[in-house]
Structure 1
Amino acid sequence: MHRRPAPSPAALVARLVVTLSLACGLSAPSAAAGTEVNDAALSDPKQGANWLAYGRNYSEQRYSPLAQVHAGNVGRLGLAWSMALPEDRSLLSTPLIVDGVMYFTGSWSKTRAVDAATGKLLWEYDPESIKHAGGERLRAMWDSSRGLAYWKGKLVIATIDGRLIGLDAKTGQKLWSTQTFDPKRPLYISGHPKAFRDLVIVGNGGSEFGAGRGFVSAYHVDSGKLAWKFYVVPGNPADGFEDEAQAMAAKTWTGEWWKHGGGGQVWNGLTYDPEYDQILIGTGNGGPWNRKVRSPDGGDNLFLCSIVALDARTGKYKWHYQTVPGETWDYNSSMDMVLADLKLRPGGGPRKVLLHAPKNGFFYVIDRKNGKLLSAEKIAKVTWATGIDMKTGRPIEAEGARYEDGSELVWPSVYGAHNWHAMSFNPKTGLVYIPKVELPALFTDTGVRIVDWRKPENFGQLDVAVDIGLGSDIPKDAGVSSLLAWDPVKQKKAWEVAQPNYWNPGTMTTAGNLVFQGRIDGTFIAYDARDGRQLWSVHVGSGISAPPVTYSVGGRQYVSLLVGWGGAGMSLGGGSSMAQYGWGFGGQTRQLLTFALDGKLPMPDVGKPVFVRPIVPADFKPDEKLVDRGRALYASTCVWCHSAGAVSGGYAPDLRASPMLLDLKALRTVLEGALVQRGMPKYPDLTDDDLVALQHYVRSQAIVTSQPTPP
């Protein structure tokens, strides 16, 4: 579905001027000539006018050589233009900028092109993800999209329902569409595709729903046809293995893991290394999380929670490094992998390394040539392991960390010490800027049921085979976060700035000695990259999830940010921790904000904070047995969107304040599909008894959370 606004009279005049200039043999503006976005452009560290890929270029450093805005004048930043996005909800995307045009994906992968100097809409494309997904499939999906790829005049977007779509960058017209996984499986894509060597690669998510045998697939950018595919975990040995790497990996699994999928989805981390012509994939956690279930007799379970290097031409395995052998805590390695040349020893030459801070709380420096571990140190509180054995590269696990006795409080939590929110690396300062999290999780595997996703009534239910308290809300003060500046050579903290809450967005750094980062509380901040001093800030009126970018048009440097609270932090858990800021469902209009030196525009009015008032009927007394049953149902069906403890973090309506939960007939119409077009899944298989149990659970939560907090 495509719409392109009619050109204005001014635009028609501009086109005529360019046409006449070309006819007269005069040179057209450089933007009209067009930047060829190819291997050469994406390998060039000096080109700063454009932001050509997710991490700006192949290095994934999120470092810009632009310095018009610098530590000495950043206080003069002001709003240059803004764009209201009232139809959007979760905005996590990294915009791309090519020759003065900005491209970005919003909710449900709706894609827009705007003039990067003015914010004028040029075109938009709606892939109609909800329509393609269908009612039941929406159970395993959010509206999130973390970005898109650009290659030689083409854009490639990925949709939550698993399609990869090629678009003409000039017009937004669809060129091709490819379904990347079996639509009958509860898989989804929320990450960004990565373009390289005339190919585009994408992974997917779904380990939490029992369907996942992780894989990545590469397609030809011109046609969308499959070029190669690599499986992260081996399939059923009786079916034979696709290649030698799968046969090797199978030796590290036990039991009948293939019946559970195995996991290992590559839902975020993708880096192309042109110097070794390899694609690096950061692989996901086990499916289900609990190794006792998927691989009962132990084993490392390759290639879960690993960095795997593949030949970029063929997709064949080259090497791997596994951060968490036999993973059992959701400590995936799908975080960004940054390429850098570091001088690790005095007097020694630079070494080609990758920098990686996965969920597990350690920071890794790894040789890109062969995957050899060069160093690893803790960046946060870690109790599951005491350190990393440098001889073997394996973690030194703490006794009891695998909840062998049935229950264990472990740091970090399933959110990780560092989640998908992008870190950045500044070659001038030599520091990596990491959005760090400090939060524990209580793992309990006694009496946990196993879900068969193939049964229609279980499709889209969470299947992790361990209890982490999804039936209860995370207290407001349970965790903290910070912006951590880390020296990868010394493997030491350089500086650290405390942040509110336990969830903070990605970073971007520049040659002007600046680090930019948004925060959950709605503050967008510029720090001095050398010492962490706050130099500039602005409140944007809503929570921030996306990382910023910077670029220049006509010699003027801009800094842009999508504002729209979203992602797992607000939808899977910790509702009250997020809701305390007033980022309630539908409360604030989403925005694209762009700043420049001496920008004079006032900040847009996006709407006031919204604080939920739970409905507590005087004549409704929850039944404890029904509450217990409803808690289990809620954790398996509702928590994905409405958040833990029935306390919404803003992604979906807060059910404690919904009159729908008092009217079971109206609730039934919703569960049968009345709100599918708004992203509400169908649950026709829930019985009337199920609805009563959910009603009692939600009402009990409304009563508990409406009580004043004791002193």
Structure 2
Amino acid sequence: MTRRGRTVAVAMAGIAAVTTMAAVATRPAARAQGVVDAARITAGAPGEWLSTGRTYDEQRFSPLSQLTPATIATLGLAWSADLDTARGQEATPLMIDGALYVSTAWSMVKAYDARTGQPLWSYDPEVPRETLIKACCDAVNRGVAAWGDRLFVGTLDGRLVALDRHSGKPVWSVVTLDQTGNATITGAPRIVNGLVIIGNGGAEFGARGYVTAYDAATGKQAWRFYTVPARPGSEREPEYLKAAAATWFGDYWKQGGGGTVWDAMAYDPALDLLYIGVGNGSPWNQAYRSEGRGDNLYLSSIVAIHAKTGAYAWHYQTTPGDSWDFTATQHIMLADVTIDGRPRKVLMQAPKNGFFYVLDRTNGKLISARNYVPVNWATGIDMQTGRPIETPEARYYKTGKPFIGSPGATGAHSWQPMAFDPNTGLVFIPANLAAFPYIPDPAWKPAKLGFNVGIDLGKAAMPAIPAVRDAAAAATTGALIAWDPIAQQERWRVSYQGPWNGGLLATGGGLVFQGSAAGEFAAFAAADGRKLWSFAAQTGIVAAPISYELDGQQYIAVLAGWGGVWALAPGTLIDKSGPARNISRLLVFKAGGTATLPPPPPLDKAPLDPPPSTATPQVIAAGGDRFARFCGVCHGDAAVGGTLVPDLRRSGVINDAAAWQAIVHGGALKDNGMVGFASVMTASEIETVRHYVIKRANEDKALEQRNTTAARPASRKS
């Protein structure tokens, strides 16, 4: 049997993939074992966290108020649990009937007693590690969903798995995407009307986006909603896709089109409308995707779907003809607010493009929009048409000139969840203040592996010039922004040295909780942003916290573990934007908690000891282009790596051409996630990449030696 066959068999049979702890047998019998249903999620039991956004409106607001600005100083660590994977941790835990359920990297799921941290069970779907090449941004997973007495998780390799909530054993498993293609699943499922709804990622790799609904009891497919049209004439398409087809040009289907729904969803039970956030095009550069024209529906859009049937209701496109990776997959939240003296049912989103949108969620009409960070690709939003007022230079493929876009491709706000406090009326946004160079590439061609984005990533790499690196790091920051969605104004801000800080939680006690890239977990006053409490987590935190209550005591829980795209791709800014380490843990706090973390392990960094750089400038330049195209998304911009994957500049393999070929060409380390690239590069081309890394290692070794010499005290004269 193949490894793929063994994995599926294990997932279906529940043999070996589930570790059931002795605690299951000794679990307190007094704990209720109620089912999770629509009524329970809608009611939003204050002491529990039943869905990834707590309730269907995804506000991520807990009404618990035991912890306040006056009592927050008593908060301490109650317990922690080390995780068995040193990759990024992005999941929001669930707390149901006294148990905490959390997914971790590689789509594993774990259950703990929420009072004590005692492990209950662990499930490993055994995702083949070579799947990592298909994931743009680490082997992450953002959470599980609950319905009845089951949990549901999407796996990186494209399965949707139903687990028994009390034992962790698989009940059913379905493959929800073409596993021969380049799509993955990292997002949390949502469940409405007894249907489990899941999307996928992969727009940078040639995927076509859709969401699918499956019967929670049986795993049978109920409906599928595509976000971009198929090849003309190849399918019998509904009217909404026929309308979309008129906005696409050329052979767009050959690269999939994109439009993947990899994260945000929300649901209004009264309207029975499911709202999904749709991603970027494939490739980014519209010149290669759609002849440089057309709105390309439904890319970068918020789309409302009738949840029972999967039928189209309405859409609003935030970035027509997107060419900057300005997805609308960012957190969607619903609220009932008063605007101009009358109640409105609104949908709010702060997508990547830098504008905060308030829509009427009954019909998709724009109510207001204003930029929440500096924006240079557009001057505003036309309130009559709802379209951005673009600056001409932003369409880089038309001007043929580089465009330094602000915000950049990582977005003014990425996947990290916002929170809404109905008491203050403020939305709390984890913002990134980071630009990105979009450089046209007239010679670009699609490839089977690597980032297929249609721009010149090699020329965008950071040079080995300290002044340039320092200036880029200084200009690349982050912020926690408290935003008034009615007035469309910032009320307060907490500034961070670097971007990629954690998701948000707001509570009824007037507190806002957030982790940072620098390894601090903190509580702020919701009214004015004062920092009231903090905890040194030893690692960056990018996931969002939750709050729950047991025995009359309020708890705060968060997954810690540095990871995601910023920990991988922009390697030159790692030291300034956050710690270059991952210590993956579940952290749980309560008033009076006295637990402590063990000392962090030493961070050993191999020396820069490369062989001499002997290749010609032409060979090195060619290797740099290939590195940027096929290697940089995991091994860092300009080969400056973090600690999630090996820093190639410091690897002994660059000294050994045969070993390099065995790994990069032959795939000797595919079981570690490093596949071979023989399908896109010849052996001689792979050798140019080695010479590029050698050159970069020598450049940075010289910089290290110069800095060491400059820092050394002058010799004392006799």
TM interval, short-chain normalised: over 0.9
> Are the counterparts in 1 of residues 138 and 563 from structure 2 also a CA contact under 8 Å?
no
> Are the counterparts in 1 of residues 571 and 640 from structure 2 also a CA contact under 8 Å?
yes
Given the alignment of the two structures, is residue 71 of structure 1 paired with residue 69 of structure 2, yes or no?
yes
How high is the sequence identity, in percent, across the aligned residues?
Answer: 40
Given the alignment of the two structures, is residue 393 of structure 1 paired with residue 386 of structure 2, yes or no?
yes
Given the alignment of the two structures, is residue 539 of structure 1 paired with residue 536 of structure 2, yes or no?
yes
The structure 2 residue matched to 1:527, chosen from 521, 524, 527, is 524
The structure 2 residue matched to 1:418, chosen from 390, 405, 413, is 413
In structure 2, the partner of 1:255 is 250
- 1:579 Cα deviation after fit: 3.9
The structure 1 residue matched to 2:330, chosen from 335, 359, 364, is 335
In structure 1, the partner of 2:102 is 104
- 1:192 Cα deviation after fit: 1.1
> Are the counterparts in 2 of residues 139 and 459 from structure 1 also a CA contact under 8 Å?
no
- 1:602 Cα deviation after fit: 1.7
> Are the counterparts in 1 of residues 248 and 293 from structure 2 also a CA contact under 8 Å?
yes
Given the alignment of the two structures, is residue 357 of structure 1 paired with residue 357 of structure 2, yes or no?
no
The residue identity in structure 2 corresponding to 1:7 is A
In structure 2, the partner of 1:40 is 39
The residue identity in structure 1 corresponding to 2:298 is F
The structure 1 residue matched to 2:153, chosen from 154, 157, 160, is 157
In structure 2, the partner of 1:26 is none
The residue identity in structure 1 corresponding to 2:108 is K
- 1:140 Cα deviation after fit: 6.1
Does the residue aligned with 2:166 lie in a helix, a strand or coil?
coil
Q: Which structure 2 segments of 5+ residues have no match?
A: 1-15, 463-468, 711-718
- 1:13 Cα deviation after fit: 6.6
> Are the counterparts in 2 of residues 581 and 609 from structure 1 also a CA contact under 8 Å?
no
> Are the counterparts in 1 of residues 517 and 579 from structure 2 also a CA contact under 8 Å?
no
Distance 1:104 1:139, change over 3 A: closer
Q: Distance in 2 between matches of 1:646 and 1:13?
A: 50
The structure 2 residue matched to 1:59, chosen from 57, 71, 77, is 57
The residue identity in structure 1 corresponding to 2:669 is L
The structure 2 residue matched to 1:326, chosen from 321, 327, 334, is 321
- 1:196 Cα deviation after fit: 1.3
Does the residue aligned with 2:474 lie in a helix, a strand or coil?
coil
- 1:670 Cα deviation after fit: 2.5
Given the alignment of the two structures, is residue 89 of structure 1 paired with residue 116 of structure 2, yes or no?
no
In structure 1, the partner of 2:197 is 201
Q: Distance in 2 between matches of 1:138 and 1:317?
A: 29
In structure 2, the partner of 1:599 is 593
- 1:511 Cα deviation after fit: 0.3
> Are the counterparts in 2 of residues 400 and 408 from structure 1 also a CA contact under 8 Å?
yes
In structure 2, the partner of 1:589 is 583
Does the residue aligned with 1:374 lie in a helix, a strand or coil?
strand
Q: Distance in 2 between matches of 1:611 and 1:68?
A: 44
Q: Which structure 1 segments of 5+ residues have no match?
A: 19-28, 452-457
The structure 2 residue matched to 1:494, chosen from 491, 495, 498, is 491
- 1:134 Cα deviation after fit: 5.9
- 1:141 Cα deviation after fit: 7.3
Does the residue aligned with 1:370 lie in a helix, a strand or coil?
coil
Alignment of 1:592-631 (within 5 A): 592-611=586-605, 613-617=607-611, 619-631=612-624
Q: Distance in 2 between matches of 1:205 and 1:418?
A: 17
Q: Distance in 1 between matches of 2:77 and 2:531?
A: 19
Distance 1:448 1:426, change over 3 A: farther
Does the residue aligned with 1:683 lie in a helix, a strand or coil?
coil
In structure 2, the partner of 1:7 is 22
In structure 1, the partner of 2:269 is 274
The structure 2 residue matched to 1:443, chosen from 438, 447, 450, is 438
The residue identity in structure 2 corresponding to 1:397 is E
| TM-score computed with the length of structure 1 as normaliser | 0.92
> Are the counterparts in 1 of residues 142 and 186 from structure 2 also a CA contact under 8 Å?
yes
In structure 2, the partner of 1:463 is 452
Distance 1:358 1:588, change over 3 A: closer
Distance 1:429 1:292, change over 3 A: same
Given the alignment of the two structures, is residue 575 of structure 1 paired with residue 549 of structure 2, yes or no?
no
Distance 1:6 1:653, change over 3 A: closer
The structure 2 residue matched to 1:307, chosen from 283, 302, 313, is 302
The structure 1 residue matched to 2:674, chosen from 673, 680, 685, is 680
Does the residue aligned with 2:172 lie in a helix, a strand or coil?
strand
Q: Distance in 2 between matches of 1:476 and 1:605?
A: 29
Q: Distance in 2 between matches of 1:616 and 1:705?
A: 10
In structure 2, the partner of 1:633 is 626
In structure 2, the partner of 1:298 is 293
In structure 2, the partner of 1:146 is 142
Distance 1:74 1:469, change over 3 A: farther
> Are the counterparts in 2 of residues 283 and 306 from structure 1 also a CA contact under 8 Å?
yes
- 1:366 Cα deviation after fit: 0.3
Q: Distance in 1 between matches of 2:239 and 2:427?
A: 36
The residue identity in structure 2 corresponding to 1:302 is L
Structure 1 stretches of at least 4 aligned residues deviating more than 6 Å after TM superposition: none
Does the residue aligned with 1:301 lie in a helix, a strand or coil?
coil
Does the residue aligned with 2:222 lie in a helix, a strand or coil?
strand
- 1:622 Cα deviation after fit: 4.2
| TM-score computed with the length of structure 2 as normaliser | 0.91
> Are the counterparts in 2 of residues 100 and 115 from structure 1 also a CA contact under 8 Å?
yes
Alignment of 1:124-143 (within 5 A): 124-130=122-128, 142-143=138-139
- 1:640 Cα deviation after fit: 2.3
- 1:471 Cα deviation after fit: 5.8
Alignment of 1:653-668 (within 5 A): 653-668=646-661
> Are the counterparts in 1 of residues 547 and 555 from structure 2 also a CA contact under 8 Å?
yes
> Are the counterparts in 1 of residues 264 and 331 from structure 2 also a CA contact under 8 Å?
yes
Question: What are the Cα deviations for residues 449-505 of structure 1, in whole angstroms up to 9, with x where unaligned?
Answer: 121xxxxxx322211111255762474224111000000011100101101212211
Q: Distance in 1 between matches of 2:674 and 2:81?
A: 27
Distance 1:138 1:231, change over 3 A: closer
- 1:609 Cα deviation after fit: 4.0
The residue identity in structure 2 corresponding to 1:198 is G
The residue identity in structure 2 corresponding to 1:463 is N
The residue identity in structure 2 corresponding to 1:505 is G
